[in-house]
């Protein structure tokens, strides 16, 4: 009989999970009070610093938090997990699952466009990823200038050094320091709530901001141009809300909801009310930092230290999210294979992606030096967030109808209401493109181009391989050749990586093995035809897919063996093919040396040869070839190890095969994908 957990132990484990949720999920949105209200009154699109505006602006921030975060994300979007996982790619998986049935109803073009929009939303998250660490840490360090003007020259260098230190420790992982994240963020929320209460008691009239009519009156008084401009600053209050959904797979919806309602939401509301109360009383604000104006002078330096720790944690959470986002994109065939390093032996999700880390570091330091202040960076912030939120609303509208069975008369008005709010936010953020919002837009478009071009190129490569397949021998013919006395047998075991499953006698052998046979006129004694299959689900075990599936086509003690082997993973899992092969050997399914360093791995290497193609295709093809040359080889990415012996056979692909009418770059794929 399995041991049962005591209720006390279960409660402690759940409490620890909630504490960890604070450190990972809420760091970004929790540090938004550092700059949101300040940006409204002292940013480029500032409004007059008056009691009436303080009441209206505070009311607007409170209700945006309530509607966009509490109602939409916490109560509704968290229900849209796919196999208990969240994030943009979870929505994409749900949309793709609806595509096959939609073909019969004529809705496939709409769902294809929505899938394309979700890929763009995922790309925009990379754009947000380079701004969050820069603006968060910079806004915290700027508190030193309020303590004394002597610190003014060191703010930017100090911020750059903190970011450099932050990114330099990423390769060590977050396992050791992760346990401290939750308590520090909990202390942060308690502290900012206390600051808010202190000033609310001094000016209790600010509690009128709870009445939404004050927000409506504020927008009416500022008119359309003024309201649209100020909404770009109000949007900063909800930056990081997508983390609630993206990190659902790590913690589950219940801890995220509980920590939001029990601590995060009340603390944010109290602090924003406190800042509104201070502004309502017309208190002086040094350097345009309203948040630090709430802090008593003797506590200013400790508060700057706490804020810096909180923003570093917020940045850490977003950096880790960028690593996870890249891995999911790779598994879904939307990103070139990159080196992925596991930093924990117990937590599979803790990874380090060197290429992404270097790109984020260079971009963040460039932003800090180039913009020089958090107020300037705030102009660049919010565009990506509003875009992701808008696409999420349209995706949720579709999911509510197709996956949850909601009537359209309920789903369309509800999520249409959120979409209307976010469309205004998006338009407002778009007005800041010339003032810095071009940064996340440029990064997002670059990431979008990478994802769509890689998916386009790999789909074309798969099509070329399909055309080459009829020229290759079948497995049945391969066995006949092995039995033929005139065919030399090499005394080796060869693992041949195949892009298509080979689990039937009439399947074609991989082109690499065909070219190997044509070139040498000999065959290995033992052949393992290996396919790595990645499903568009987070965990393949959750849908009942076997980890390893093997079919023995031929086995003879003298002539060797031919085995088809398929290893299956989900997009949240990191393939470990070496382990799969060792397990298959242990079950006596395949015959390979006991030492993996003696394995011979045969892989195909694509070479796109130049032919006359259109200018657009030539440009896109050049981009694809660059990514192809710099992507991690398949045998390394899938865990065969750098110490295995590898031989390649070059498969020449004519560029003309890429010159097709469809250059849109993204079409929702089927239920599974072989790599």
Looking at per-residue pLDDT, the higher value among 22 and 173 belongs to 22
Residues 6+ apart with CB under 8 A from 24: 178, 181, 243, 247, 250, 251, 317, 320
Q: Are residues 503 and 438 in the same domain?
A: no
665 falls within a domain: no
- pLDDT tens per residue across span 377-418: 877 777 888 888 999 999 899 889 888 889 999 999 999 999
Q: Are residues 522 and 417 in the same domain?
A: no
Q: What is the pLDDT of residue 653?
A: 66
Q: What is the pLDDT of residue 102?
A: 52
Residue 589 phi/psi, 5° resolution?
Answer: -85, -30
- pLDDT tens per residue across span 260-281: 999 999 999 999 999 999 999 9
Q: Is the pLDDT of residue 213 over 90?
A: yes
675 falls within a domain: no
Q: What is the pLDDT of residue 347?
A: 52
6 falls within a domain: no
Q: What is the pLDDT of residue 672?
A: 40
Domain that holds residue 92: 19-455
Domain boundary among 428, 455, 482: 455
Q: Is the pLDDT of residue 20 over 90?
A: no
Residue 81 phi/psi, 5° resolution?
Answer: -65, 155
Q: Are residues 109 and 208 in the same domain?
A: yes
Which of 75-84, 229-238, 638-647 has the least mean pLDDT?
A: 638-647
Q: Is the pLDDT of residue 291 over 90?
A: yes
Looking at per-residue pLDDT, the higher value among 324 and 488 belongs to 488
Q: Does residue 85 contact residue 248 with C-beta atoms inside 8 Å?
A: yes
Q: What is the pLDDT of residue 2?
A: 44
Q: Is the pLDDT of residue 148 over 90?
A: no
The domain tally of the chain equals 2
The most confident of 65-74, 134-143, 229-238, 282-291, by mean pLDDT: 65-74
11 falls within a domain: no
Q: Which two tokens stand for residue 454?
A: 């890689």
220 falls within a domain: yes
Q: What is the pLDDT of residue 444?
A: 87
Q: Mean of the per-residue pLDDT values for the chain?
A: 81
Q: Are residues 34 and 176 in the same domain?
A: yes
Q: Are residues 494 and 423 in the same domain?
A: no
Q: Is the pLDDT of residue 33 over 90?
A: yes
What does the pLDDT average to over 69-80?
92
Q: How far apart, in Å, are the Cα atoms of 667 and each of 125, 459, 559, 584?
A: 21, 10, 45, 35
Domain boundary among 455, 478, 501: 455
Residue 611: band (very low, low, confident or very high) from pLDDT cuts 50, 70, 90: low
Domain boundary among 421, 455, 489: 455
Q: Are residues 392 and 478 in the same domain?
A: no
Q: What is the pLDDT of residue 513?
A: 86
Distance of CA 72 to the CA centre of its chain: 20
Q: Is the pLDDT of residue 195 over 60?
A: yes
Here the CATH number for the domain that contains residue 228 is 1.20.1740.10
What does the alpha-carbon distance between residue 143 and residue 191 come to, in Å, rounded to a whole number? Answer: 16
What does the pLDDT average to over 95-115?
61
Q: Are residues 224 and 346 in the same domain?
A: yes
Q: Is the pLDDT of residue 54 over 80?
A: yes
Q: Give the 3-state secondary structure of 67-122.
A: HHHHHHHHHHHHHHCECCECCHHHHHHHHHHHHHHHHHHCCHHHHHHHHHHHHHHH
Q: List beta partners, residue 552.
A: 563
Q: What is the pLDDT of residue 661?
A: 46
Residues 6+ apart with CB under 8 A from 121: 88, 387, 388, 391, 392
- pLDDT tens per residue across span 431-466: 777 777 788 888 888 989 998 888 888 887 777 777
Percent of the chain at pLDDT exceeding 70: 85
Q: Are residues 415 and 556 in the same domain?
A: no
User: Which among 389, 382, 393 is positioned nearest to 440, based on CA atoms?
Assistant: 382
Whose tokens are 């890429």? That residue is 658
What does the pLDDT average to over 178-202?
89
DSSP labels, 115-172: HHHHHHHHHHHHHHHHHHHHHHHHHHHTHHHHH-GGGGGGHHHHHHHHHHHHHHTGGG
Q: Does residue 549 contact residue 583 with C-beta atoms inside 8 Å?
A: no
What does the alpha-carbon distance between residue 243 and residue 517 come to, in Å, rounded to a whole number? Answer: 51
462 falls within a domain: no
Q: Is the pLDDT of residue 357 over 70?
A: yes
Q: List beta partners, residue 564.
A: 529, 551
- pLDDT tens per residue across span 543-569: 666 777 778 888 888 888 898 888 888
**Dihedral sign computed on CA atoms, order 207, 208, 213, 215:** negative
DSSP element (H, E) containing 509: none
Q: What is the pLDDT of residue 519?
A: 82
* pTM score: 0.78
Longest dimension (CA), the chain: 97
Q: Are residues 54 and 168 in the same domain?
A: yes
Residue 107: band (very low, low, confident or very high) from pLDDT cuts 50, 70, 90: low
Q: Which two tokens stand for residue 562?
A: 């031919």
Q: Are residues 445 and 476 in the same domain?
A: no
Q: Are residues 489 and 410 in the same domain?
A: no
Q: What is the pLDDT of residue 243?
A: 77
Residue 99: band (very low, low, confident or very high) from pLDDT cuts 50, 70, 90: low
Q: Does residue 560 contact residue 478 with C-beta atoms inside 8 Å?
A: no
Q: Is the pLDDT of residue 620 over 50?
A: yes
Q: What is the pLDDT of residue 209?
A: 94
Which of 528-542, 579-593, 654-668 has the least mean pLDDT?
A: 654-668
Residue 187: band (very low, low, confident or very high) from pLDDT cuts 50, 70, 90: very high
1 falls within a domain: no
Q: Are residues 524 and 563 in the same domain?
A: yes
Q: How far apart, in Å, are the Cα atoms of 202 and each of 36, 55, 60, 278, 289?
A: 22, 15, 21, 8, 20
User: Which among 523, 515, 530 is positioned nearest to 478, based on CA atoms?
Assistant: 523
Q: How far apart, in Å, are the Cα atoms of 495 and each of 198, 315, 397, 475, 564?
A: 69, 42, 46, 15, 10
Q: What is the pLDDT of residue 374?
A: 79
248 falls within a domain: yes
């Amino acid at each position: 009989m399995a041991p049962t957990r005591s209720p006390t132990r279960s409660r402690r484990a759940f409490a620890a999970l909630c504490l960890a949720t604070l450190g990972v999920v809420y760091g970004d949105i929790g540090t938004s009070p550092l700059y949101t209200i300040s940006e409204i009154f002292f940013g480029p699109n500032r409004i007059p610093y008056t009691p009436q505006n303080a009441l209206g602006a505070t009311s607007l921030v409170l209700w945006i938090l309530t509607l966009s975060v509490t109602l939409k994300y916490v109560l509704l979007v968290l229900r849209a997990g796919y196999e208990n996982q969240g994030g943009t790619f979870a929505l994409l998986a749900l949309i793709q699952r609806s595509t096959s049935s939609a073909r019969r109803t004529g809705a496939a073009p709409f769902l294809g466009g929505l899938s394309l929009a979700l890929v763009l939303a995922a790309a925009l998250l990379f754009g947000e990823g380079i701004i969050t660490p820069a603006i968060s840490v910079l806004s915290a360090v700027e508190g030193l200038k309020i303590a004394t003007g002597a610190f003014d020259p060191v703010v930017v260098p100090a911020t750059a050094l903190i970011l450099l230190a932050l990114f330099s420790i990423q390769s060590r992982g977050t396992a050791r320091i992760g346990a401290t994240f939750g308590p520090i963020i909990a202390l942060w929320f308690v502290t900012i709530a206390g600051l808010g209460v202190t000033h609310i008691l001094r000016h209790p009239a600010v509690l009128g901001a709870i009445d939404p009519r004050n927000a409506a009156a504020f927008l009416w008084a500022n008119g359309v141009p003024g309201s649209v401009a100020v909404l770009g600053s109000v949007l900063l209050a909800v930056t990081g809300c997508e983390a609630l959904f993206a990190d659902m797979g790590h913690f589950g919806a219940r801890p995220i909801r509980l920590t939001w309602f029990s601590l995060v939401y009340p603390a944010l509301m109290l602090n924003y009310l406190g800042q509104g109360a201070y502004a309502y009383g017309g208190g002086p604000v040094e350097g345009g930092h309203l948040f630090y104006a709430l802090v008593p002078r003797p506590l200013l330096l400790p508060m700057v230290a706490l804020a810096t720790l909180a923003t570093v944690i917020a940045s850490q959470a977003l950096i880790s999210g960028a690593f996870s986002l890249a891995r999911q994109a790779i598994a879904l065939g939307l990103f070139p294979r990159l080196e992925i390093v596991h930093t924990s032996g117990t937590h599979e999700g803790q990874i380090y992606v060197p290429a992404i880390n270097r790109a984020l570091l260079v971009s963040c330091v460039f932003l800090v030096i180039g913009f020089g202040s958090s107020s300037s960076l705030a102009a660049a912030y919010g565009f990506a967030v509003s875009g992701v939120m808008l696409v999420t609303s349209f995706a949720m509208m579709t999911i509510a109808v197709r996956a949850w069975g909601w009537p359209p008369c309920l789903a369309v008005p509800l999520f249409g209401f959120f979409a209307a709010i976010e469309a205004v936010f998006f338009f407002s953020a778009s007005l800041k493109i010339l003032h810095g919002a071009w940064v996340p837009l440029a990064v997002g478009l670059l990431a979008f181009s990478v994802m769509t071009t890689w998916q386009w190129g790999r789909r074309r490569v798969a099509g070329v391989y399909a055309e080459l397949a009829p020229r290759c021998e079948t497995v049945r013919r391969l066995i006949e050749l092995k039995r033929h006395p005139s065919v030399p047998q090499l005394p080796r075991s060869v693992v041949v990586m195949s892009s298509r499953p080979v689990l039937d006698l009439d399947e074609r052998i991989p082109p690499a093995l065909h070219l190997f046979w044509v070139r040498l006129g000999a065959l290995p004694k033992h052949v393992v035809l290996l396919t790595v299959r990645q499903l568009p689900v987070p965990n393949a075990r959750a849908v009942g897919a076997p980890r390893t599936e093997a079919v023995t086509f031929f086995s003879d003690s003298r002539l060797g063996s031919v085995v088809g082997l398929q290893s299956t993973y989900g997009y949240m899992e990191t393939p470990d093919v070496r382990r799969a092969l060792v397990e298959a050997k242990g079950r006596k399914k395949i015959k390979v040396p006991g030492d993996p360093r003696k394995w011979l791995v045969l892989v195909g290497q694509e070479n796109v040869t130049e032919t006359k193609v259109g200018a657009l295709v030539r440009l896109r093809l050049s981009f694809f070839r660059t990514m192809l040359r710099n992507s991690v080889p398949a045998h390394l990415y899938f865990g065969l190890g750098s110490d295995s012996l590898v031989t390649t056979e070059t498969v020449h692909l004519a560029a003309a095969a890429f010159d097709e009418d469809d250059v849109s770059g993204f079409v929702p794929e089927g239920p599974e994908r072989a790599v």
